[in-house]
Structure 1
């Protein structure tokens, strides 16, 4: 009986991806204990979310890839309708309208789009893979613009950028021309230059988003206000040196200089306590997760699986890059948590759900080979 249960459990699981994920979870629990001033209840909550997320990952990994393809269009349509519902019936908190009240709890529909958009795009390009041309990429771009436009109106720049990247990666793996990518990058760079140097930011972005861009370029312009997060984050990381100050021994952390130290700025805590060597080990662990996702993408048995897995792997990289970049001062502060490590359940659930999709792609390959 136990053997049958074990066989049933491990059938959809990719052991390497699970191993790397559990190792990140170990780092998360240890780090959160220090960042929360040894708050056992908060660590316990994190472990509970880990368990729920792992169960969800297993459930999604057990779904056949053909079933996921059939769910792609309905998931996208439901996600867009929920974003429209936020526009009319959303709950406002801290100046942003991002949530829907469904009675027993509040949901953030933009989180659903992190899964639904790459699913939809992968299904669409799989459907047209034989006669793919530039028109399909235009349709793909429009499929990205619709939900992202609704998310930016909430406003939620960080989530909008992450969802845009997840869609772009599908277009990239589907064969988007390098010339178009280069032209788009040049146009974006030119626009960024004009916006920042000609004081046009306020006409394009919200005022608080403009302040974030300005403080990224010069945090000392408002050291006790908008620049405080970046300044304290860089001080903490720099003070860690090669080997860090030691677990539970971070002065910036435990003297309450680091803001949001259990969520968005938890990497500053890690850098202070474990130093450059610890940072390198964490980066290696993240790279192993990303590499495993790309390997699954490369070995996928269908175009749908290849595009979906590739997008998930590179979007996970984007999460890591954006969080570490904003904490170290090379990107604006956009409220993106450190994947699988920051405290909070919503981000972890969406990431582990996407890992379940990766495992479903890998399982489909095994079944095809069998």
Structure 2
């Protein structure tokens, strides 16, 4: 690969264009959806020589699927990045990208994950000009990663024909083959309403929830000791929100909390949910008249656990080493679309420009130099994937 994939100026121009398009995920403050971003990605990909189709996932929210070398013999590699972002929140001028003197491009989504998306579009454009392609290359620009991964789920359930994937997330160009899964559940306590002047006539649901929180803290604190993974870290829990009561002068008849569990390889999501019920049974045993239930359980990600010897891990690692001089294969604590794809039969790793520490922040940014390097890593991964598959089956 003697021909450069792109330049910093080209990468900066493309990424600036993407960041300037609001694509805040629907269902949150300032939500716009991804329709305008989908239009832009389709236009850019068509201009690059890709064939493009849309996969309607949610009303007005399509995945954009862009393919080059569709008829080439060889394994089919997928590049995936999500188009949606979190809300601006306290970020000022988040859709007005700016580049500072250090070569950092600031703006909402620059790091998570429009930097990856720009790099993938640049790699796709380069791949369209390869005379002897090693196999098909597809870019999936997905919707809804920030709130439910509906885009990745829809693609995983389709007749996609891909053999492996690189998912763009801000990994500082490390290769991630393992990450934790995660789920959150609504836990509700029920009481009896009464006037606050006669609290003895009621049953305070907030006090009941205080009993439950104490048990959750004690039991999960005890149960999760020693549960860790060398790459994914410690299995964890958190109580992120408690709400209850209708008025200051009423004994509340209901209280709700959100409990989150981040599980590691070796822990199934179904087991995690069962364990929560066991913890609540401890609370029920301590307080015989306690009325508590788990309502609307939501598992939002399974674990990612791709073997180190998998062809996609080897191809991505070799590509990163060629570009950076060295590469790290790691695990992370957060979740991503990669676990959705992997559990749909598409072995997947994460790799992308930027640092996850700056995603979702008031000063989100990505180094433009890393966007250029990511484009080359994606292109080299595609070029080397067929050899990695052959080596694995030899």
TM over 0.5: no
Q: Name the structure with the higher strand share.
A: 2
Structure with larger Rg:
2
TM-score by length of 2: 0.28
Give the alignment's TM-score, normalised by structure 1: 0.29
